[in-house]
Amino acid sequence: MKILDKVKLPDGLKSLNNDELIVLSEDLREVITEYTLSNGGHLASNLGVVDLTCAISYVFDFPKDKLIFDVGHQCYAFKILSGRLENFKKLRQKDGLSGFPKREESDFDAVNSGHASTALSIGCGMARGNASGQVICLIGDGAMTGGLFYEALNDALTLDKKVIVIINDNNKSISDNVGFVNDYLKIVRKYGNEISLPNIETITNIDGHNIADLIGKLKYAKNLDKSIILHVVTQKGKGAQFAEENPSKYHSVGKSCDKLCYGQIFGQSLTEIAKTNNDIFAITAAMTDGTGLNEFSKTYPDRFVDVGIAEEHAVTMSAGLALAGRKPYVAIYSTFLQRAYDNVLHDVCLNELPVVLCIDRAGFVGGDGETHQGIYDVGYLGSMPNMSIFAPKDSEELKSVIQWSQNFSKPIAIRYPKSEVSFEYGKTAPIEYGKWERLVDANSNITLISNGDVLTNVYKAARTLGNLGVKVNVINARFIKPIDVTMLSNFTKDDTLFIFEEYTSSNSIYSQVLEFFNKSECYAKVYGVNVENKPYAVASREELIASVGLDADSIVSFVKSKINK
């Protein structure tokens, strides 16, 4: 570092001249690259916005002024410039810095934000509520593919309050941008056209890497007494050749899978069955690579749809595909599917359409913190009529349910984690609707029940308990909804069931089993361990699982504590 560690931030920034700001930007890129590659996180997007962030921080007065990021993952330079350089070394680590804006972390972070297209809505509210200082929304062009942006724009253009909108146009979401908005911005970039909107001034094609020019334009916006849109063109991955050449690959970096991850297995399986089923369509929301659909998109381009960051449209459009007699598979991260709640309920479930929701990043997601945990989908999907939910235990079961699902005539959600497959069981019973799989039959009155990736920990715990002289049965409750009432009916008051699930207790198997026993003549003693319904901060997936008692050692201790009473 040439200057970053010598400037007292944040106040010292404003004393720098333009040449020093350029050097500062170089230092920021060096630090961001080093610790993002080391700890994981969003690299290319942050490298592209460094110069713009320096200029914004130089011109405006934070935290009195409010900077709202959209998407929040482009905030790394701002975190450092607001005095968090030392803590940045623990980016995305337990007790370290979040990779997203976080109000609990600093007064400089105006709002906690990890999802796209929200900034202008927040900005309209802050301006309308007379928040202190100026309101600045830094919006990536990818976020402009989300419908919420246009709902907010409709409001902002008639709002008698000032909001500064900065469009960070790097021609990318995570994957390549798609649709009309992308085509329109290409024309603006190529020909220098103005973005023509009523009631608001726009300045287009500002060089996002010319700090002096950026400062001039930002000062103009600051001194204006009305709203303005600044269209700033940046290069994603700027300053790191490998990220400039492959910005999608380096959008987000982290530990690579030594074996195939669940998402990759899903993508391969869907590509395989699509060879013989021409009705299969794959739909995603700006997550082609992340959901494992890269191969499918190249093999069947006419049956692949990337709608941009528009989860609501992805789900409802898939309902239309199903109405047209097609078989849509909608691949969306658990955290982003939340945005399409009503679309799933109203358009898919109430119409009882054969749409398959392929929910990646289900369960705990290490490193991303509160905004990206996939622990809520069972709670809301389980409340919907006509919806079934399945959690495969390993790669073979995931392949099996993808194959089976193409002939299923109602809505179903298949949920799986971000991680690689941690254990292969070597056997998978044929999928039968609503039926569980007995993995271990120890002729015991103690039964451990689980599903998905955490079943691996339960399976390991069962072996440990066996070595301690405690024989237990193990059931793979792969259908979360409906539960296997036939199997449950065989239990008696002499049996003890332990249920372990990596999601909140609402509509969990535990809650359904309690309800089933309450309404039936069957009875067994039931204990459950679920994820507590609260926000979960940055930590590794393993740390998060252990924190809620779902690691193998905790499972052993929990079972022993109950049977020894």
Residue 134 Cα to chain centre, angstroms: 30
Q: Two tokens at 203?
A: 């300045």
Selecting among 105, 238, 311, 361, the annotated active-site residue is 311
For 192, residues 6+ apart whose C-beta sits below 8 A from its C-beta are: 204, 205
Asked about 259 being catalytic, the answer comes back as no
| Cα-based torsion angle of the residue sequence 344, 346, 351, 356 in order, rounded to the nearest 10 degrees | 0
CA 361 – CA 95 distance, rounded (Å): 22
Q: Are 549 and 520 in contact (CB under 8 A)?
A: no
Full strand arrangement of the beta sheet holding 228-233 = 66-70, 135-140, 164-169, 228-233, 201-207
Asked about 236 being catalytic, the answer comes back as yes
Asked about 463 being catalytic, the answer comes back as no
Burial (CB < 10 A; 0-12, 13-18, 19+), residue 181, is middle
Selecting among 339, 361, 415, 478, the annotated active-site residue is 339
CA 218 – CA 511 distance, rounded (Å): 55
Q: Two tokens at 397?
A: 């079961």
Element (H, E) at 119: helix 119-128
Burial (CB < 10 A; 0-12, 13-18, 19+), residue 256, is exposed
CA 187 – CA 190 distance, rounded (Å): 5
Selecting among 79, 102, 172, 236, the annotated active-site residue is 236
Residue 360 Cα to chain centre, angstroms: 9
Active site residues: 236, 311, 339
